[in-house]
Structure 1
Amino acid sequence: MVGSALRNHFPLLRTMAVLLGFLVLIGWGLISVGRNYDKTGMKTEAWQWAPAHSFHDSAPPQDGWLPYASKPSIQGTGQVYWLKVPLERNPVRDPQLLIFNAVALTVFDKDKHLFTYDPSEHHHRLNLFYHWNLASLPTPLPSEVEILFDNRGGSRPLPWIQLLGKGDLIAHLIQKDTYSFVLAGLFLFSSFVAIGLYFVRRDRLHLYFSLMALCGCYASSVRNYLLQIFWDQPWLSYMELAIFPLGVFGFVSIMNEVFDSKHTRTLRKIRWIILGFTIVTIISAVFLDIVWFGWLLSYPLLTMFLITAAIVLHSIWAAYQDRQEPESVWMLAGFFIVTSVALIHVLRTYMPTFFGWVQDNIPLLYDFPFDILSIALFLFLVCLIRIIVYRFGIMNDQLKAFNQSLESSVQKRTAELRDRELELQEASTRLSHTMRETAEAIASSMVLEERHRITGTIHDTIGHSLTATIVQLEAAKRLLARDPKLAEEKLDASQGLVRRGLEEIRSSARLMRDDFSHYDLQAAITTLINEAEQTTGASIQSRISPLPDSLTTLQKRVLFQALQEGITNGLRHGGSRHFQFTLDTDGFTVWFRLISDGLTYMPSAFGFGLKAMSERVANLGGIMNVTPGNPGCVLTLSLPYAERPIGLLEGER
């Protein structure tokens, strides 16, 4: 049973072993680099301490010194105290006193002031794990120095002091902490790559990956001693305390994106609680009193971390048991590594007193690198990169399957098109047998249409001529007895009208046979109006705008015949004596309008002439309307035309 279980979990155990091996290897390297330096602090056996009145004491006390080996209670009470530190003769260039775990301090050589740092004067807040003070010492070295410490009411670790040269310090810090900036660069590069993938694919997993990488970049940049050499700004390392919950939010959000929704119901709720706690923590770091901010980090943050770790572990383990695929294996292995190291980091950073007690019972923790969390976080991001690569592999397989399916569909569609082509060829053969019958039917239809067109044209021409002739003959009949000469003139006019109507018939016949390319519409309309006024005595007011050259002869004839039909109907049926005629264009349409007086038009079915005219207008794409006037009748017509002559358009093609 045990062997079978181990085989089932072998991928997980193998992945955890690899990650743990990398973590131990890197941690051992960091310990090796810093061992010779970190163990060379000054011995505390000869130190002495004495209580101080305030941080503003101007000189150390002359008596009252107590042995420092008694582990004074001043660390827990936040009392201001003096510390007397003997200095060994050390032949170093530019001697310096390196001091850790001090909030505010002043260094004296007897009554001579050497160095002072007070964070309240600079509005600084300190992360004592990464803040240090460097006091310059005179040469030759004094036998001892007195240091005034003020922990500002908080419980602080015991001071750690070392005598060394400034050049040696800088060289060692470069050797020891350069890797953290390299790691920060890797985090930053990973963040840029992830945010680029997010903008391409809109996958929120890449967005949260970028957030965690940015948190790792910031932590690696400030979680070292070397940064203070280049930029002595304590706020940078201090805000690292508040950035940690933001990294936890990114961590939980990544879990929420990686696993199915059935495994992340609780995570979806808790991550917004973590985000709210993160915002509160960041605001508190800036505005809240340092004592209360320390309480917020020591208790609520630790509680939140432990609860979140338990919920995430439950979700990952459920997903792993449900389906042991690479995603759950790598996420579970990465979770164990980063959570274990983060727990040590939280205890050391936010509960230093408790962690000191643990260190006393587990001495191995004394050698545990403080910034190993950045390495663990980077290993977790490596796990996440492995998952992203795995997902890209799945997507690649899906694309291959889709490509194969597409090729199969194309082949199937090609075969269908070939069958369709054969069917079309057969249909074409059958169609060719019926083309003659179709052509004959079309020819018959064209003959009927042309007959109808000719009939309408002759009707318009003869109707107008005969109407005017009838008017002249009736006038001659009435004048024959009274004024034979005037009656004879009326008869001559009637004869001219008949001849002119005959000429119009011949002209229409030639137009239909030859389709003259030139027809002067404006001149023809002017002649028609003059003849109508002379022969009928009617008054016709006209306004004709310049007409476009692109009007076809057929369009011109339709406009002319519409005017002819309108005047004829007004004289014959309406008894009209006055007409108003306008012909305008707007660049695309010819607008025809004829208003007559006389009897008010009553809408009814068109007679033969108007019906034929309406059909001709419609065939040219236009619209004709006949509406009542006030009194009389209004004939309107709109006829679209091309912007350029048809001949030019055909020449361009």
Structure 2
Amino acid sequence: MKKRIFMIMMFLLILTGCSETKNNGFAAAKNGVIDLTDWVPPEDGAVKLNGEWAFYWHHLLDPNDDLTSYSPLMIKVPSIWNGLLYHSETLTGEGYATYHLSVRMDVDTEEQLMALYIPTIDTSYRLWVNGQLTAENGTVGTSKQNASPRYKPNVITFRARDNTSILLQIANFSHSEGGIIQEIILGSPDQIIDMKQDKVALNIFVFGSLVIMAFYHIVLFVKRTKDKSSLYFGLLCFIGALRAIIVDQMYLIEWFPNFNWYLALKLEYLTVYFGAFLGVSFIRSMFPAEMNKYIYYFASSVSILFSLFVICFPAKLFTETLSAFEIFLLLLLVYIQYVQVLACIRKRNAALISSITGLIFLGCTINDVLYYAGVIYTVDLLPIGFFLLIISQSVNLSLKFAKSFQRVEQMTKHLEEINVTLEEKVRKRTKDLEQAQFETAAMLAEKSIFLERSRIARELHDILGHMLTTTSVQIEVAKKVVGKDVRLAIDKMDLSQQLIQKGLNDIRGTVHTLKENNEPILFIPSLNKLIEMTEMTTSIKVDSLIEDTVNNLSPTIEKVVYHTLQEGLTNGIRHGGCTKFIFSLYIDSENNLHFSLSDNGVGINELTFGFGLTSIKERLEEQNGKLMITSSDQMGFALEFSIPIV
């Protein structure tokens, strides 16, 4: 681990230690002249035409103009002309100028062919070599109205001379920065073409690889939407693939020559600004415990705001934001590296690979920021760093999914082992359930018999109690009047016989009825009949109030009311010695049935629940009813209940 870190640190030191003074052993251009008389292309390779070029501000000179008539400034190439002091004027990115460089070479013959690699230049140019117009890109003009931008790297060939003249007109009215920001390279045609082809091959390889990885991981997300890391990574790969074809060799312009320059520039900036959001979101999805959520929200908000600024404003404004975003991006990458190192310390899955490649990517980013700012002269390393980062994270995700599949296989194997004994367990448990079901059925049958017997007993109790009470009253009356009025005594005995006969009929009906509600009864008439018979056979007065709203009750509730009234009348006569009852039955506004029966009997201080009251209580509980009994010595007896009507 220490060896790897040492190698990475050496890599960063090499990047930042590069200087501008040497170019394949040849001195840089000085005062608009570069001396390459000792240069042998086959042995020394291509050279970069870096150094001081003659700079003619606000002049568009061509080979027909006498350059000695003008006083040029010296400007370093590659660099932007922003900030250059010209006649007490600090230049901005907007304007036009002419660059000139004399290249001294030892040419064997005037027929010797040489080549130049011309990178993208902000934002239009025309190039003459030895007085011949060899390349142009965009439209060079003196104002925004007669100039138009275009990016397209070029390879041009020319016949070399001992003193080769390179004249370059540049105009910029669309970008915040103007000038030559990348290196112009001189070499033999084979060397320049090979270099160009190497760039093409590398970028196409990166583009194709990223597109494949983008689709692969997005499909993974579609199949498993809970894992957001695949989505962020797939979109990040897509952003990287898009950037590979809109920077450096500008393949998007090669494929679509009429593609809008402003739209291409917006896409270039969005790959950086919105890519930062996708990157930090991906790292958070991988190591959520290590990344502070507030820093994540802040970084995401900044990235999205910069992206919206690019979308909504013209190129001249949004290109001004790059320097500020580069500072933010460097700080964000340092924090992401901290998160990955912390995850590595905590031994999170895939943290070690992420940490190493993250450090390499941070070094590549620092290199490119300094390279494009003209501080160092190395190469554009960000595409390579990004590709390495993508490859490493793809490996991490593959390892993550591999472990998930491994867990699935282990669970499958465990389930198969369980299934081996599952059938026997199911058979045993089925047998146990059948036995339990048989025992439960037997218990339910016993309970059903018990409940049926209890119901019949309650009804027999109510019928016999009421019948015997009223019959007893009639017999007592007959005994008292038999010596005085034989006819009245016979009538009382006949009435007693009728009461006994009615009771027997009721008992037969109860015994032969195994289910309640078997035969419909006329509810209110049956209550009135019970009251009428009680008054007729006992000479007791019953004041009753039965509201018409109590119609259409369920048969079960009707029987509860009937038997409760029957039991209450019987108890009041037998035990209370009362002479008057007050009875009421109605339904209140909350749809509750109210029953009330009170008498003027002797009352009772201590209430004991006999069979009759217990039966009433049980019937009410079955209907979710509430029983209320009030009584005191010599103050009568009151029986009340309420039942919710569903």
TM over 0.5: yes
Query: Cα deviations across residues 479-519 of structure 1 (Å, max 9, x unaligned)?
Result: x99xx7xx777645533431122113312331243228436
Query: Cα deviations across residues 247-285 of structure 1 (Å, max 9, x unaligned)?
Result: 456546655655797xx68x9998677557646765887
* Structure 1 segment 62-461 matched on structure 2, within 5 A: 65-66=69-70, 75=81, 76-77=84-85, 79=91, 82-83=97-98, 101-102=121-122, 116=141, 130=151, 156-157=179-180, 186=212, 189-190=215-216, 192-193=218-219, 195-196=221-222, 200=224, 202-210=226-234, 212-220=236-244, 222-223=246-247, 224=250, 226-227=252-253, 229-234=257-262, 236-238=264-266, 240-241=268-269, 243-244=271-272, 247-248=275-276, 250-251=278-279, 254=282, 258=286, 275=300, 278=303, 293=321, 295-296=323-324, 300=327, 304=331, 307=334, 311=338, 327=350, 331=354, 335=358, 338=361, 341-349=364-372, 351=373, 353-355=374-376, 358=377, 365=379, 373-374=382-383, 377-378=386-387, 380-411=389-420, 454-455=460-461, 457-461=463-467
Indicate whether 1:500 and 2:503 are aligned.
Answer: no
1:237 is displaced (CA, Å) by: 1.8
Equivalent residues of 1:106, 1:147 under 8 A apart: yes
Equivalent residues of 1:48, 1:67 under 8 A apart: no
* Structure 1 segment 492-571 matched on structure 2, within 5 A: 494-515=492-513, 517-518=518-519, 520-522=521-523, 523-535=525-537, 536=539, 538-543=541-546, 551=555, 559-571=561-573
In structure 1, stretches of 5+ residues that fail to align are 14-42, 86-97, 108-113, 134-143, 162-171, 360-364, 644-653
Equivalent residues of 2:599, 2:636 under 8 A apart: yes
Query: Cα deviations across residues 558-587 of structure 1 (Å, max 9, x unaligned)?
Result: 54333223234445626353533437799x
Aligned equivalents of 2:405 and 2:330: distance in 1? 43
Aligned partner of 1:399: which letter?
V
Map of 2:597 onto structure 1: 595
Aligned equivalents of 2:621 and 2:343: distance in 1? 77
Equivalent residues of 2:210, 2:240 under 8 A apart: yes
Aligned partner of 2:497: which letter?
R
1:462 is displaced (CA, Å) by: 0.9
Query: Cα deviations across residues 317-350 of structure 1 (Å, max 9, x unaligned)?
Result: 878xx79x9x46754675577556545433343x
Equivalent residues of 1:52, 1:82 under 8 A apart: yes
SS at match of 2:260: coil
Aligned partner of 1:531: which letter?
M
Query: Cα deviations across residues 415-456 of structure 1 (Å, max 9, x unaligned)?
Result: 666677899999999x9xxx9xx9999999998997776455
Equivalent residues of 2:560, 2:619 under 8 A apart: yes
Indicate whether 1:580 and 2:589 are aligned.
Answer: no
Indicate whether 1:635 and 2:639 are aligned.
Answer: yes
1:182 is displaced (CA, Å) by: 6.2
Aligned partner of 2:568: which letter?
G
Aligned partner of 1:377: which letter?
F
TM-score, length of structure 2 as denominator length? 0.57
SS at match of 2:582: strand
Equivalent residues of 1:627, 1:634 under 8 A apart: yes
Over 3 Å counting, the alpha-carbon distance change for 1:268 and 1:501 in structure 2 is: closer
1:463 is displaced (CA, Å) by: 1.6
SS at match of 2:222: helix
Aligned equivalents of 2:266 and 2:459: distance in 1? 98
SS at match of 2:597: strand
TM-score, length of structure 1 as denominator length? 0.56
1:157 is displaced (CA, Å) by: 2.0
Over 3 Å counting, the alpha-carbon distance change for 1:229 and 1:209 in structure 2 is: same
Aligned equivalents of 1:237 and 1:415: distance in 2? 71
Map of 1:465 onto structure 2: 471
Aligned equivalents of 2:283 and 2:420: distance in 1? 43
SS at match of 1:189: helix
Over 3 Å counting, the alpha-carbon distance change for 1:259 and 1:375 in structure 2 is: same
Equivalent residues of 1:596, 1:629 under 8 A apart: no
Equivalent residues of 1:52, 1:81 under 8 A apart: yes
Over 3 Å counting, the alpha-carbon distance change for 1:220 and 1:505 in structure 2 is: same
In structure 2, stretches of 5+ residues that fail to align are 9-48, 101-117, 128-138, 155-166, 185-195
Aligned equivalents of 1:442 and 1:152: distance in 2? 94
Aligned equivalents of 2:332 and 2:452: distance in 1? 92
Aligned equivalents of 1:291 and 1:330: distance in 2? 34
Aligned equivalents of 2:172 and 2:455: distance in 1? 117
Query: Cα deviations across residues 112-140 of structure 1 (Å, max 9, x unaligned)?
Result: xx864856x89x9x9x995899xxxxxxx
Map of 1:92 onto structure 2: none
Equivalent residues of 2:583, 2:597 under 8 A apart: yes
Give the structure with the higher percent helix.
Answer: 1
Map of 1:614 onto structure 2: 616
Aligned equivalents of 1:270 and 1:571: distance in 2? 88
1:459 is displaced (CA, Å) by: 1.9
Aligned equivalents of 1:633 and 1:601: distance in 2? 5
Aligned equivalents of 2:474 and 2:285: distance in 1? 93
Aligned equivalents of 2:628 and 2:174: distance in 1? 105
Map of 1:89 onto structure 2: none
Aligned equivalents of 1:439 and 1:49: distance in 2? 111
Query: Cα deviations across residues 347-386 of structure 1 (Å, max 9, x unaligned)?
Result: 343x1x224xx25xxxxx4xxxx6x745653554343333
Aligned equivalents of 2:569 and 2:475: distance in 1? 14
Aligned partner of 2:226: which letter?
R
Structure 1 stretch displaced more, 151-160 or 519-528: 151-160
Equivalent residues of 2:361, 2:385 under 8 A apart: yes
1:541 is displaced (CA, Å) by: 3.1
Over 3 Å counting, the alpha-carbon distance change for 1:297 and 1:386 in structure 2 is: closer
1:390 is displaced (CA, Å) by: 2.2
Query: Cα deviations across residues 390-433 of structure 1 (Å, max 9, x unaligned)?
Result: 2222222222222333343454566666677899999999x9xx
1:219 is displaced (CA, Å) by: 2.7
Equivalent residues of 1:50, 1:82 under 8 A apart: yes
Over 3 Å counting, the alpha-carbon distance change for 1:464 and 1:237 in structure 2 is: farther
Over 3 Å counting, the alpha-carbon distance change for 1:576 and 1:147 in structure 2 is: same
* Structure 1 segment 8-27 matched on structure 2, within 5 A: none
Q: How many residues align?
A: 517
SS at match of 1:219: helix
Give the structure with the higher percent strand.
Answer: 2
SS at match of 2:583: strand
SS at match of 1:101: coil
Equivalent residues of 2:220, 2:230 under 8 A apart: yes
Aligned equivalents of 1:330 and 1:194: distance in 2? 22
Structure 1 stretch displaced more, 537-546 or 67-76: 67-76
Aligned partner of 2:369: which letter?
V
Over 3 Å counting, the alpha-carbon distance change for 1:460 and 1:381 in structure 2 is: farther
Aligned equivalents of 2:450 and 2:305: distance in 1? 92
Task: Kindly report the root-mean-square deviation, in angstroms, between the aligned alpha carbons of the 2 structures.
Answer: 6.4
Aligned partner of 1:234: which letter?
Y
Q: Among the aligned pairs, what percent are the same residue? A: 14
Equivalent residues of 1:460, 1:561 under 8 A apart: no
Aligned with residue 627 of structure 2, among 625, 628, 640: 625
SS at match of 1:520: coil
SS at match of 2:179: coil
Equivalent residues of 2:123, 2:171 under 8 A apart: no
Equivalent residues of 1:525, 1:560 under 8 A apart: yes
